[in-house]
Structure 1
Amino acid sequence: MSQNTGRNKGIQTIMILAIVLLLPGFLYVVLNKSGMANSYSTLPIYGEKKVPGTTHRKWGRDLMDTIYHEVPNLSFVNYDGKKIQLFEQDSAITVIHLFYSRDQSFSTTLINNLNKITGEFRQSPNIKFYSITVDTSYDSPEVVTKYIKNIDPSGKSWYFLTKPSSDIFKFAKDGLLQDALTTSDVNKPFVIGSSYVLIDSKRRIRGFYDVTMKKEPERLADEIKLLTVEEIRNHPAKIETK
């Protein structure tokens, strides 16, 4: 082996070592500056947004603060007579839909489809499901109990709510961004939205899932999981110290 060959191999070895040592740091700087670091799939936030002009720091960057639409925190009575505060658990992911027991169309379909989804998340107490009646004068806890006699919500975080602490129609329209109104039709006294509403732990709306579209319940289940990952990343579990 000539002296030049040995020198060339030595230079190549040094270059390879330099690349191995410097490349990770270089890539980190590039990704961080391009805004790609720590990126992951996320869901949109629905409703009116306001920008107050202030900023906060995240991942080493200053970001504009945004005030998002929040769903009001009402109290209700569950079908078993217990009082329920809608967002009592501030770490919960919530799914809400409207119904009324005299409705044989959307209400029945919404509840039947949700029955399958609640079963899938039976072991996830931080995921709450609320079926809320708009027929508050007729749908007493006793009536709702009879209405759901073929459904077993026990063992699930699924509640059938009536007797709201505030106007249910205002709550539906302004809070959930869903249709809810009375009609003069005796056979169909209410018009209600046909969607499930997905809400994060900050009471922000993250998705609408129309029951009239075949794949929407499946998409809801998938996006509950996606939102769960987002919540974990944004709110990592605190380690208790004694």
Structure 2
Amino acid sequence: MSKNTRSRNISKLIILALVLFVPGFLYIMVNQMGSNEYVKLPVFGKKELSGKMNRVMGREIPDTIFHVVKPFDFINFDGKPNQFLSTDTVISVVHLFYAKDDGLSKQLFYDMNTIAERFKENYKIRLYSLSVDSTDQSSDLLEKIADYREGMNPHWYLGHHLSVDIFDYARHNLLIEAMPDQSNPHKFIISNQFVLIDSKGRIRGFYDVGLRSEVDRLEDEIKVQVVEEIRNSPLKIEKK
């Protein structure tokens, strides 16, 4: 056998070995050393370790107790009773307002309508506008959203007659500020932020309506959160 023939045979054996063994070797390396990285939103609020360990993908992860927003009852703008965070299968966006306010509240409604239109067909997204004025009635709320009533997102709720002290609730649950205006009994100081809440009641983002880019960021991060919910609990989030 000539040297050229032997060289060609050896080369073929090396190539065959590479074809057979390299993919398997790479698969083992990826499973042992690699990990999938996904975009994930932060969780806001107080956090503490429970002392327990959870096993995730073969790894021991410390169990963390996160700040969770509590549900409460309210009356919707159509006069029907409802509940804020009534289900653990959806993502929620919330902001505060009061009907007599033609400044910040008007801007919040305008931007919320943008979000409502964008996710109109998505039952996984619920939107809440919560009144801080105990004197607001359903008629006041209907007047406030008159420009958006036609074809309105069915998952956008306007709450009044809340079953909680909204000022204390906003500060300790939603982690935003709200208070009466001491200089005028008919005015209130409210946050200019939207709050994004996941299906577990955890706060995943704050968005300042004073910046157009923040509303765009909210749209993008709602999509990110939807992906996380589906990835973590596919059957739960897809169930109507």
**Normalization by structure 1: what TM-score?**
0.89
* Count of residues paired in the alignment: 235
Pick one of 124, 127, 140 that aligns with 2:137.
Answer: 140
Give the equivalent residue in structure 2 for 1:52.
50
Amino acid paired to 1:151: Y
Shift in alpha-carbon separation, 1:9–1:211, aligned structure 2, 3 A: same
TM superposition shift of 1:51 = 0.7
TM-superposed deviation, 1:33: 4.6
* 1:151 to 2:148 alignment: yes
Q: What RMSD, in angstroms, separates the aligned Cα atoms of the two structures? A: 2.0
1:131 aligns with 2:135: no
AA aligned to 2:49 is V
What are the ranges of 5 or more consecutive residues in structure 1 without an aligned counterpart?
none
- CA distance in 2: counterparts of 1:131 and 1:105, whole angstroms: 15
User: How far apart are the structure 2 equivalents of 1:58 and 1:128?
Assistant: 30
Q: Structure 1: which amino acid aligns with 2:175?
A: L
For residue 155 of structure 1, report the CA deviation from its aligned partner. Answer: 4.0
Unaligned runs of 5+ in 2: none
Corresponding position: 1:114 with 2:112: yes
Code of the residue aligned with 2:8 in structure 1: it is K
Letter in 2 for 1:143: D
Identity of aligned residues (%): 41
Give the letter for the 1:150 counterpart: D
Partner-residue secondary structure (3-state), 1:57 = strand
Does the 8 A contact of 1:98 with 1:192 survive in 2? yes
Quickly say closer, same or farther: Cα 1:110–1:50, change in 2 above 3 A.
Answer: same
Secondary structure at the aligned position of 1:150 is classed as helix
Answer yes or no: is the 8 Å Cα contact 1:127–1:157 preserved in 2: yes
Say if 2:96 and 2:130, in contact at 8 Å, map to a contact too: yes
TM-score (norm 2): 0.90
Checking the alignment, whether the CA contact within 8 Å between 2:181 and 2:189 is kept in structure 1 is yes
* Counterpart position of 2:172: 174
**Which structure carries more helix by proportion?**
2
In the superposition, relative to structure 1, how do residues 129 and 30 fare at CA in structure 2: closer, same or farther (>3 Å)?
same
Secondary structure of 2:168's aligned partner:
helix
Structure 1, 141-150 or 221-230: larger mean CA deviation: 141-150
Give the Cα separation in 1 of the matches to 2:205 and 2:44. 7
User: Structure 1, residues 22-58: CA drift from partner, whole Å, max 9, x if none?
Assistant: 4444444444454x51221111110000111211111
**Counterpart code for 1:146:** E
Report the equivalent of 2:221: 223
Taking the TM superposition and a 5 Å limit, the aligned residue runs for 1:30-49 are 30-34=29-33, 36-49=34-47
Is residue 103–residue 188 contact of structure 1 (8 Å, CA) maintained in 2?
no
- Residue 18 of structure 2 corresponds to 19
17 and 147 in structure 1: CA distance in 2 versus 1, 3 angstrom threshold: same
Partner Cα separation in structure 1 for residue 46 and residue 235 of structure 2: 30
- CA displacement, residues 194-219 of structure 1 (integer Å, 9 cap, x when unaligned): 10000111110000000111211111
State the alpha-carbon separation in 2 of the partners of residues 42 and 154 from structure 1: 30
| One-letter amino acid of the counterpart of residue 17, structure 2 | A
Q: 1:25 to 1:63 in 2, by over 3 A?
A: farther
- In 2, Cα distance between equivalents of 1:25 and 1:47: 44
Name the CA distance, whole Å, in 2 between partners of 1:164 and 1:111.
19
| CA drift at 1:154 | 3.4
1:74 corresponds to which residue? 72
Change (3 A) 1:5 1:235: farther
2:7 corresponds to which residue? 8
Secondary structure, aligned partner of 2:129: strand
